[in-house]
Amino acid sequence: MKKLAAVAAALIWSTCAMAEDRSITVASTTSTEQSGLFGYLLPLFTRAEGIQVKVVAVGTGQALDIGRRGDADVVFVHDKSAEDKFMSEGHGVKRFDVMYNDFIIVGPNSDPARIAGDKDVADALRKIAAAKATFISRGDKSGTHAAELRLWKEAGIEPATGKDSWYREIGQGMGPALNMASSSNAYLLSDRGTWLSFKNRGELAILTEGDKRLFNQYGVMLVNPDKHPNVKAKDGQAFIDWLISPRGQDAIAGYKIGGEQLFFPNASH
């Protein structure tokens, strides 16, 4: 009897351990993590599907590289051209739009470049460069960094080439970049979600917003299990399916700070 009881207990423990082992790794951006979105969203998903989610929050370029190595099951990022390249290389199964927000330029209230209220982001960047006003660049191959470089190019300026002291590449995420901008009263391109959740604003304020070129789309992809057999395809796809389902989309829309919505769901099946 004791042996039977021991075997039964072992089976129960083994079953529980297997149930607890349902987990996936998602390589994502610092903006989804530091905005607080994942802290709000993932417990809802886990309650619904019984799958734990470990997030590796890095810049989009790094997140895609993690996916290329097969060190994540899902990639959830925001640089459409880089995502398309990831897919064309065969690293992803299918890409889905999930949500969007926008980028903004923040800067000190003193606004030495006089960009406040300028709705043309390229014009605002040209003013910053002309004034040689301090600008903090993430410089980390993130989606935000890629967007920033595109916008400088549209403005006809290559700020990094001259290594002018006003343009500072720091190689860090959105939170540290905002902290540095705050401490040095500098300009910065930020995603709105992280800005809204950022507390250490100091003298910083939103100075340029609303240009359609500041649109910021997020996409999600299952890492290709044909390339990486260790990928937990079933549970990874369950996460994607939940994100783009009415329940997941409603949850994204429901995440607010101070009554302001941070992300806007736009999944299409």
Beta strand 92-108 pairing with 215-223: antiparallel
The pTM assigned to this predicted structure is: 0.85
E strands present in the chain: 23-29, 52-58, 74-77, 92-108, 135-137, 167-169, 187-191, 204-208, 215-223, 256-257, 260-261, 264-265
Along the 269 residues of the chain, how does pLDDT read in single tens digits?
Answer: 445 444 444 444 443 444 457 999 999 998 899 899 999 999 999 999 999 999 999 999 999 999 999 999 999 999 999 999 999 999 999 999 999 999 999 999 999 999 999 999 999 999 999 999 999 999 998 999 999 999 999 999 988 765 668 999 999 989 999 999 999 999 999 999 999 999 999 999 999 999 999 999 999 999 999 999 999 999 999 999 999 999 999 999 999 999 999 999 999 86
* Domains, the chain: 2-101+217-265 (3.40.190.10), 102-214 (3.40.190.10)
pLDDT for 269: 60
Written as six digits, the tokens of 147 are 């967007």
Phi-psi region of 202 (alpha: psi -120 to 50; beta: other; left: phi over 0): left
Q: Which of 242, 227, 217, 239 shows the shortest CA–CA distance to 60? A: 217
Q: Which of 65, 21, 106, 41 shows the shortest CA–CA distance to 263? A: 41
What CA–CA distance (Å, rounded) separates 261 from 106?
19
